[in-house]
Structure 1
Amino acid sequence: MSNKKITIAIDGYSSTGKSTVAKQLANYLGYIYVDSGAMYRAVTYFAMQNGFIDELHFNIEGLISKLNNIDISFKFNETLGFAEVYLNNENIEKAIRTLEVSNFVSKVATASEVREKLVQQQKYMGLNKGVVMDGRDIGTVVFPDAELKIFMTASAETRAKRRYHELLNRGDNVDYNDVLKNVVDRDYIDTNRADSPLVKAEDAIEIDNSNLSLEEQFQKILQLVTMTLEGFE
């Protein structure tokens, strides 16, 4: 395998397991892992905490005016084996994974000013290669020149079931139909927003993991990484 480091961009719909396989790859390769979705969740959490968004309204101008007050960082937790998300030095890893945050994150992500701020940070994180980043526009906007681009998909029902069980295991009190609605709604917003909509990059490899186990998915993508790196031999 080549000593050269590459950029791996993993895009796809919500709850397709992008973060799970991206973490696995980063750990295996010794690369930096960046969960871009967590960055949008962090901004959403900030908006919720400061009264800029709720079920009835979204004060987008108010949020934009406070973007410079938002500092997002990732700190590696050796016990967990992955980096947790911090907002202004507060660990918000668990707080941003709720269904409430999920219900608002796609709306917040439609704000061009929010995307501009976060894309700038994401590009900076990938300057030295050796990075695995997942999200919605990594292969199309953040790293259009990434050596390996993957686009992950699965049926809405499959993704909703995964997300539902994940939330139940966390101890959250959720209804499956609410989770399914969230998945479908987010798909619509993510693919129809004006700024950087979710689309498969022309040179991305699509993987439907509806019927793949986590190990099968990891091995399939690792094979693609190996083939890409061998191209530099």
Structure 2
Amino acid sequence: MIVTIDGPAGAGKSSAARRLARRLGFRFLDTGAMYRAVTLAGHRAGVDWDQPEQLAAVAASLVLDLSDSHISMNGEDVTAAIRTLEITTLTKHAADNQAVRRLLTDQQRAFAAGRDVVTEGRDQATVVFPQAECKIFLTAGEEERAKRRFLDLQARGEEVDLAEVLRKQRLRDKGDTERAYGGLAKASDSIEFLTDGLSPEEVVDRLAEIVQGVQAHSGIAAK
């Protein structure tokens, strides 16, 4: 069974999807980490961001390995390195690169083949796994999302300004929704879930209820 969780930046998709996967006994696919890793590799290689073929070549040379809580790039654990504000801001270059998106889409489908998976991103229900049995669109208010991101960055030791985080989030939202290929969009058969005011545990409880409801309705055996 494939469960997709799409939504805008700062909605809490990664943490919610990871916790949900553990609850269900599924594998977790953090597609955002894959784009961030490509971005980190491009940044280290000094690619010209205005020359998309350079980043595509870097992406093609990478071996990405994902576990439920870590990602390695050519054998190096880059779990923390990909979460800085700098890499977050630059990730649009990987996300807007069609060659990179095609490459990572193929890798994501290969990861999920024959497995029970919870996957999160922007285009999981619309592009990567349109056949997914359960599709969820996870969202939250603009200020709520910015506050979450601000607190997360602070917890990682970065000195950030909430207004700047909100400004960059708005730019990212604009880029995500206007992207011609693989942009953020709610699939027609996705279930929308607003997380404002809910604790992480309450979010996972509700997500689990949604998945279990789909399993019951579809006759899919629960774990």
Q: How high is the TM-score relative to the length of structure 1?
A: 0.90
Partner of 1:60: 52
Residue in structure 2 matched with residue 157 of structure 1 by the alignment: 143
> Residue 125 of structure 2 aligns to which amino acid in structure 1?
G
Q: Residue 46 in 1 paired to residue 41 in 2?
A: yes
* Stretches of structure 1 lacking an aligned partner (at least 5 in a row): 1-5, 76-81
Measure how far apart 1:85 and its partner are.
0.7
Task: Select which of 198, 217, 223 maps to 2:209.
Answer: 223
Compute the displacement of 1:165 (Å): 0.6
Distance 2:8 2:192 in 1: 12
Tell me the residue number matched to 2:25.
Answer: 30
Superposition map of 1:177-188 within 5 A = 177-188=163-174
The alpha-carbon deviation at position 65 of structure 1 amounts to: 2.7
Q: Unaligned regions of 5+ residues in structure 2, if any?
A: none
Shift of the alpha carbon at 1:190?
0.6
| Deviation of the 1:49 alpha carbon | 0.5
SS, match of residue 210 in structure 1? coil
Q: RMSD in angstroms over aligned alpha carbons? A: 1.3
User: 2: distance between equivalents of 1:65 and 1:226?
Assistant: 41
Contact 1:102 1:182 in 2 (8 A): no
Match of 2:70 in 1: 84
Conserved 8 A contact 1:86-1:92:
yes
The runs of at least 4 aligned residues of structure 1 exceeding 3 Å deviation read: none
Who is 2:66 aligned against?
74
Q: Which moved more, 1:62-71 or 1:92-101?
A: 62-71
Structure 2 residue 107 is matched with structure 1 residue 121 = yes
Alpha-carbon distance, 1:107 to partner: 2.6
